[in-house]
Amino acid sequence: MTKNKISDLNDHLFAHLERLADEDLTADEIAKEVARSEAIAAVSDRITESARLRLQAAKLYAEHGAHILPRLAAAKKGIAYDTAPAKLKPTLLTIARLEHAARERRSEREKEMRG
């Protein structure tokens, strides 16, 4: 399985743009490339939206510290932390801390595996 990074997205988009600009393409080949372009654009939009949301979460964490984690985790699950019952808040906080620790550990393992 190929491991692409967000930084690879521009390379893929520009490579496809070059294929579209190929003056030797037939009408059928152009039609196929246009259809492929629409699919690539849709996937690219999803990738950039996902990256934007991760960046937004990182900024919130940087600005507000660890106490923002339960709000982020609860929002992800469709639960409003601020309006959750008081008995549920400690559980949401624990879940958020565990999920954060797991993400951090996965990230560390991926870095170790890359070199």
Domain contains 1? no
Comparing 78 with 25, the larger pLDDT belongs to 25
Residue pair 37/20 in contact (Cβ under 8 Å)? The answer is yes
Comparing 105 with 72, the larger pLDDT belongs to 105
Query: Which pTM was predicted?
Result: 0.53
Comparing 79 with 17, the larger pLDDT belongs to 17
Number of domains in the chain: 1
Q: What is the pLDDT of residues 2-40, one digit of tens each?
A: 677 888 888 888 988 898 888 998 999 989 989 998 998
In sequence order, what DSSP letters do the residues of 48-60 get, joined into one string? HHHHHHHHHHHHH
Residue pair 69/61 in contact (Cβ under 8 Å)? The answer is yes
Domain contains 39? yes
Domain boundaries, position 46 = 6-114
Among 59, 30, 73, residue whose Cα is nearest residue 51: 59
Please give the torsion angle defined by the CA atoms of residues 15, 21, 25 and 26, in that order, rounded to the nearest 10 degrees: 130
Residue carrying the six token digits 């870095």: 111
Q: What is the pLDDT of residues 40-70, one digit of tens each?
A: 889 998 888 888 878 887 887 787 777 776 6
